[in-house]
Amino acid sequence: MKKDTSKFKTRAKRERRSDRKIMTKEASLLKYMRESRHLSMRRVAPILGLSEATVNHSENGRRDIDEKLIKSFLKVYGYSYIEFKLMLEGEIEVPEHIRSECVDILNRLAENKLKMVKAFLVTL
């Protein structure tokens, strides 16, 4: 026997900005900067006067971030806005980018070449 569900009304889900993930260079860079200072989201949030969710959404592309918010993050992380802009423009190399590029190259290498790279790295 079927239940009559006509008396139960469901509301249409309201679309929120946090439902869409739009990863930006700014968000990725803020995450790198926080991690480079060995800070957790839990530790940063109360310093900024924000919730952990706001910090998380800012770093993971689920929240729009403006210049004012970026500057408040940078103040806590100990970076200047000028350094931030230079890193975004590629004028200052971000170490994490170098690491990920090297890992990508290593993943494409044939086994025999990978052994040569390992032998070289061991000598450093």
Mean pLDDT across 6-35: 78
Domain ranges of the chain: 19-92, 93-124
Residues 6+ away with beta carbon under 8 Å from 54: 45, 63
Spatial contact of 35 and 46, defined as CB atoms under 8 Å apart: no
Q: pLDDT-derived band of residue 5, with 50, 70 and 90 as boundaries?
A: low
Structure tokens at 6: 């006509």
For residue 68, the one-letter residue type is: K
Q: What local confidence, expressed as pLDDT, does residue 82 receive? A: 96
- Per the document, the length of the chain is 124
Task: Report the alpha-carbon distance of residue 35 to residue 47 in Å, rounded.
Answer: 16
Q: What local confidence, expressed as pLDDT, does residue 11 receive? A: 73
Convert the pLDDT of each residue in 83-100 to its tens digit.
999 999 988 877 766 777
**Choice among 47-61, 66-80, 94-108 with the minimum mean pLDDT:** 94-108
Task: Please state which CATH class domain 19-92 belongs to.
Answer: mainly alpha
Q: What local confidence, expressed as pLDDT, does residue 1 receive? A: 56
Q: Is the pLDDT of residue 20 over 60?
A: yes
Q: Is the pLDDT of residue 80 over 70?
A: yes
Phi and psi torsions of 26, nearest 5°: -60, -45
Convert the pLDDT of each residue in 26-43 to its tens digit.
998 999 899 889 899 999
